[in-house]
Amino acid sequence: MDLQRLLIDRMENRILVGLTMVLASMVLVGWVAINESGRMASFQQQHLARSIEKGAELFSSSCATCHGNSGEGSARAPGLNNPQLFGHDYLAPLDTQIAAVETRIARFETLTATMVDEEARSQLSEEEFAVVQADLAAIIERYGEDPLTSLNGELVTLVTNRANLILQMQSAIDRGYDPEDPSRMNNVGWGSTLEPFVLTTLVSGRPVSTNYWPEPMASWSQTGGGPLREDQLLDLTNYVLNWGHERNWTLEDLLRVQQFAKEPVEGAVQLVENPVATEIIDIQFADVSGRRDEIDEVVARALGEIAELTGDPNNGQSLYNGSLACSACHNLATVAPPTEGTFTRVEDTRLADPNLAAYSAEHYIVESILAPNAYVVEGYPANNMPQNFGERLDAQLLADLLAYLSSQDGEDPLAN
Ligand code: HEC
Ligand code: HEC
């Protein structure tokens, strides 16, 4: 009896001890996990901070002569520490308010018109009429007995503030800034984010910028004959992007910029402008969800048109390396799948994916260009390849690109 009690006691104890251990280890694991993600984040932050520091040094030795010591720009190159490059729109908050007041005025006018028009009123159901009355009451409560006068007064104030804000930007405007069209990315039709834009510029340079700048922006990449390694280009990119990181751009920031970007003069090839497309495909698929059928249809139509044409691989190559700047990303395997061996890779690796069972190599390549997010290559991020080539290409240019990529049928450096 005593022995049995003892045993049971022991058992209970064991269970208790066991449970405590389990709990303790859960707490420990949880604590480690929490700390681990904290450590990861702080490790990544330190890594980024070091990269930015290295970028800063490279910038003062290689870039400051043209872009200014603190990225303010000079007669030789545009400012990079620059709200225009980051697409900050100073007028946007006022524009939103103005649009809201305008909508309210229009709504008030429709409502009062309905109230005085017997015929219109008689066509409303009881519920609809109640909504009209409630809306009117709400506007009158907010703006008083004469809402139109108050609303128009508000509109005048906002429009005046907007005009004054533009006046304060005058010296920047004199240096080439356009407050109504404030985003460099939009101006050049870049369909991706700023990071690949900066990196692309560093890798491929802007050979044609000599048409509108005293000296061209050269390629800085060793792959393009320049002096800098890939990691150094990434450091520089991190440094430049850090100028806009969570920045509350002020008017002073704008006025400090000495030089804004210039639009290429006529005759110069733009970096990302539509080259000579005649009938552009005019579609983009940044958001691909639920659009499978539409993508298939557009790609099938493009393939049908391409089949009637002869692609020129030489033109394809110059588009790829020149005005479309595909090579800027595709020459660095860390940024995008390398150009070399593309066709081999598509045939041997991509088409082996069961999801692509029904694809031909041409189908895959055309879809990759028109709807890059439809099939994102493993190991690379979605959204980095510009999504708007469909708005810049026609069937002939696509045929040329396809002819060039079809010639990349040597060994695939990614194959192991
Ligand atoms: C010889 C002068 C010169 C030097 C040195 C130079 N750049 Fe440039 N850079 C330019 C010019 C000119 C442009 C404008 C090209 C254009 O508009 O097409 C430019 C454009 C750029 C742009 C794109 C800006 C935009 O709005 O399109 C970036 C980013 C850039 N440079 C970064 C750098 C970095 C980083 C360095 C140092 C490694 C550097 N540049 C060195 C002349 C220079
Ligand atoms: C800003 C960088 C960037 C530019 C510019 C760019 N691409 Fe890409 N591209 C990528 C990335 C990243 C991927 C892989 C991720 C994905 O599938 O979208 C990719 C994937 C591809 C693929 C699939 C390759 C494979 O191995 O499966 C093709 C083909 C392609 N791009 C063609 C082009 C062409 C043609 C152009 C120019 C008209 C171009 N890209 C411009 C970044 C870029």
Residue 268 C-alpha to ligand 2 middle, in angstroms?
Answer: 25
Name which residue leads in pLDDT, 226 or 264: 226
pLDDT confidence bin for 268, thresholds 50/70/90: very low
Ligand 1: atom nearest CA of 220 is 38
Pocket of ligand 1, beta carbon within 6 A: 62-63, 65-67, 76-78, 80, 85, 184, 198, 201-202, 206, 209, 213, 215, 217, 220, 236, 240, 261-262
Helix H or strand E segment including 8: helix 2-58
Residue 372 C-alpha to ligand 2 middle, in angstroms?
Answer: 7
Among all bound ligands, the one having the nearest atom to the CA of 331 is: 2
Among all bound ligands, the one having the nearest atom to the CA of 318 is: 2
pLDDT at 122 over 50: yes
Average pLDDT of the residues of the chain: 86
Strand partners of residue 74: 77
d(CA 211, CA 323): 15
Ligand 2: atom nearest CA of 401 is 35
d(CA 348, CA 361): 10
Q: What percent of the chain is predicted at pLDDT more than 90? A: 56
**Cβ pair 390, 291 in contact under 8 A:** no
Q: What is the pLDDT of residues 270-292, one digit of tens each?
A: 443 444 555 666 677 778 888 99
Collapsed DSSP state (helix, strand, coil) of residue 250: coil
d(CA 117, CA 371): 51
Residue 336 has a pLDDT of 86
Give every CB contact of residue 175 below 8 A, 6+ residues apart in sequence: 257, 258, 259, 260
Which tokens go with 94? 């006022």
Q: What is the pLDDT of residues 296-325, one digit of tens each?
A: 999 999 999 999 999 999 889 888 876 777
d(CA 87, CA 188): 12
Helix H or strand E segment including 318: helix 313-321
pLDDT at 334 over 50: yes
Flag the least confident range among 95-99, 138-142, 238-242, 384-388: 384-388
Give residue limits of the domains in the chain: 51-61+69-89+182-263, 92-168, 292-406
At the top level of CATH, the class of 51-61+69-89+182-263 is mainly alpha
Residue 26 C-alpha to ligand 1 middle, in angstroms?
Answer: 54
Residue 76 has a pLDDT of 94
Strand partners of residue 217: 206
Residue with CA nearest ligand 2 atom 8: 385
Residues 187-212 have a mean pLDDT of 83
Q: What is the pLDDT of residues 52-91, one digit of tens each?
A: 999 999 999 999 999 999 999 999 999 999 999 999 999 9
